[in-house]
């Protein structure tokens, strides 16, 4: 191998070593200076520099140690040999600039110039006071060196753009009003602060959990199916409404949108959840108000009209015949109207949402309610210990009064009424369904049952409807009032068969 080839091989190897050094750089300025140092030290170019395009000018960024004092000024990016190199992306080797007007050397004493583009970034130029100072080998080595420079600064630009994009995305995600998360088969991989606020768990706790851990018991199977899904229909982003149980045990309703993504090389789900609990509650409140309006309209148009017609008819007969029995019938009809109006007003008042509650002794409320109801020879039996409960004490007493009145009306004066706490072993039926209502199992709450004739299964889904009664003098609004009070507290009520075959009402408060 000739000495010239060995020398060229040495320079190439050293340039590759410089390229490795450049890979460790974090700023483009460091890379520019390493490039110029390598051109000066390895390629033995006495005078050289790197200019970078900024706002239409080629601005010096790094120069060799032999550059004359003061260096050189920025040039327009479309002027001279540097501009031509930058604009065309083409290298030039000028043996003698005095023979080429377009070279426009920055220093008049330069005789030869080597000019190499740095892609869209700028230009590298080397100059010599001697003519024919550079050959084709010098040009190839300079192009190799500048390819290393270009590759590294391109990588730095990409990383900078990526960091900027990530920062913008993180700012957007962290500032979002929605709970945003990334979930994989192993569980949560990322959660923003809103997820923590919504669930009550810290971000550290959430990253050790799965979405199934947060889901309401009744929604866990559905959440599991979403997690295990590996494709979306028609490239759409599905929306779901699910319940979340918070760290404190509260239930929140969320509207969830999910899309499948690749995260750290694995399949994952990017989710956005919005708390719609208040919106759902407002909707339910409006629905209850609309239902009450319908009930009021029905009572006014039918239930009140009937006794009114009876009273008017008997008054006419009384005026014609003077018989006392017509006055008695009129009085009875007016009494019926008064009872209906009183219950109607209670229904309107009790249907409003509870805004203020306090801890009240349940047994105290039970006994107060019993003392205000005409119970005749009926017996009250408080079973087990009744703990305190968070409620509006006035409405809670109204609830018990109506349940006690219902038990006496249907069970007779000798009926026994039992009140006790709910427990996980009770089998309950809701809305006429003969399937055990599992949601009552193990929940907080209480029951009221009697040993009367009970309620047939086909009647259980109707008992809370207004106007439904089997008693001759009942208004049919008592249990509707109970249902309204339960709804206003955010509780649930169901009816089933009692221990002794009578009616049993279970109120779950959680």
Closest CA to 421 of 401, 449, 398, 397: 449
Question: Dihedral, CA atoms, 93, 94, 100, 103, nearest 10 degrees?
Answer: 70
Fold equal for 177-275 and 277-350: no
Ranked by mean pLDDT, the top range of 208-212, 338-342, 486-490 is: 208-212
pLDDT band at 61; cut points 50, 70, 90: very high
Angle at 49 between CA 43 and CA 53, to 5 degrees: 135
Strands (E), 43-121: 47-54, 57-63, 75-76, 92-94, 112-118
Dist. CA 67–CA 410, nearest whole Å:
110
Dist. CA 366–CA 400, nearest whole Å:
6
Paired tokens of 42: 């390895």
pLDDT for position 349:
58
Domain 3-169 has what CATH class? alpha beta
Mean pLDDT lowest among 15-19, 232-236, 315-319, 362-366: 232-236
Dist. CA 401–CA 370, nearest whole Å:
7
Domain spanning 177-275: which superfamily? PAS domain (3.30.450.20)
Dist. CA 189–CA 297, nearest whole Å:
55
* Contact call for residues 182 and 266 (beta carbons, < 8 A): no
Dist. CA 388–CA 448, nearest whole Å:
16
Strands (E), 276-387: 358-361, 379-382
pLDDT for position 401:
86
Residue 467 above 60 pLDDT? no
Q: What is the pLDDT of residues 33-43, one digit of tens each?
A: 999 999 999 99
Q: What is the pLDDT of residues 72-131, one digit of tens each?
A: 888 999 998 899 999 999 999 999 887 776 555 445 667 899 999 999 999 999 999 899
Q: Report the CATH fold assignment for 277-350.
A: Helix Hairpins (1.10.287)
| Domain boundaries defined on the chain | 3-169, 177-275, 277-350, 357-510
Closest CA to 448 of 489, 481, 482: 482
Closest CA to 110 of 92, 89, 132: 132
Q: What is the pTM of this model?
A: 0.45
Q: What is the pLDDT of residues 249-307, one digit of tens each?
A: 999 999 999 888 888 888 889 999 999 998 888 887 788 777 767 766 665 655 566 67
CATH of domain 357-510: 3.30.565.10
**DSSP secondary structure letter of residue 440:** G
């Amino acid at each position: 191998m000739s000495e010239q080839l060995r020398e060229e091989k040495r320079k190439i190897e050293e340039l590759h070593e410089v390229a490795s050094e450049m890979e460790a750089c974090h700023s483009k300025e460091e890379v520019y200076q390493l490039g110029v140092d390598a051109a000066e030290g390895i390629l033995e170019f006495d005078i050289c520099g790197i200019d970078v395009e900024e706002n239409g000018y080629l601005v010096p960024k790094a120069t060799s140690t032999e550059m004359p004092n003061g260096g050189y000024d920025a040039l327009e990016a479309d002027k001279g040999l540097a501009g031509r190199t930058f604009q065309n992306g083409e290298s030039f080797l000028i043996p003698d600039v005095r023979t080429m007007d377009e070279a426009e050397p920055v220093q008049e004493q330069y005789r030869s110039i080597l000019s190499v583009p740095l892609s869209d970034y700028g230009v590298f130029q080397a100059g010599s006071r001697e003519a024919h100072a550079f050959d084709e080998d010098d040009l190839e080595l300079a192009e190799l060196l500048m390819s290393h420079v270009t590759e590294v600064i391109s990588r730095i630009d990409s990383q900078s753009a990526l960091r900027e994009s990530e920062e913008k995305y993180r700012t957007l995600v962290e500032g979002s009003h929605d709970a945003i998360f990334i979930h994989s088969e192993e569980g949560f991989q990322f959660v923003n602060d809103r997820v923590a606020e919504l669930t009550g768990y810290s971000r550290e706790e959430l990253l050790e959990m799965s979405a199934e851990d947060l889901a309401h018991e009744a929604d866990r199977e559905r959440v599991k199916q979403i997690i295990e899904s590996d494709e979306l229909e028609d490239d759409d982003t599905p929306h779901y409404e699910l319940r979340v149980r918070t760290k404190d045990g509260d239930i929140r309703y969320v509207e969830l949108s999910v899309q499948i993504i690749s995260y750290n090389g694995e399949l994952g789900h990017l989710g956005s959840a919005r708390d719609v609990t208040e919106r759902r509650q407002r909707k339910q409140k409006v629905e209850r108000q609309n239902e009450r309006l319908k009930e009021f309209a029905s009572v006014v148009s039918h239930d009140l009209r009937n006794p009114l017609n009876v009273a008017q008819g008997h008054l006419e007969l009384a005026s014609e015949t003077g018989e006392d029995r017509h006055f008695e019938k009129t009085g009875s009809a007016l009494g019926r109207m008064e009872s209906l109006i009183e219950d109607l007003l209670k229904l309107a008042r009790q249907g409003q949402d509870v805004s203020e509650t306090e801890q009240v002794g349940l047994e105290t409320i039970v006994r107060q309610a019993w003392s205000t109801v005409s119970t005749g020879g009926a017996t009250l039996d408080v079973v087990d210990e009744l703990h305190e409960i968070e409620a509006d004490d006035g409405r809670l007493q109204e609830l018990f009064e109506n349940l006690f009145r219902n038990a006496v009306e249907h069970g007779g004066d000798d009926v026994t009424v039992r009140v006790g706490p709910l427990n996980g072993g009770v089998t309950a039926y809701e809305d006429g369904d003969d399937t055990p209502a599992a949601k009552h199992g193990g929940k907080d709450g209480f029951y009221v049952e009697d040993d009367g004739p009970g309620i047939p299964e086909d009647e259980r889904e109707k008992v809370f409807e207004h106007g439904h009664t089997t008693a001759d003098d009942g208004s049919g609004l008592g249990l509707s009032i109970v249902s309204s009070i339960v709804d206003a507290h955010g509780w649930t009520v169901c009816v089933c068969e009692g221990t002794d075959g009578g009616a049993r009402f279970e109120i779950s408060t959680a």
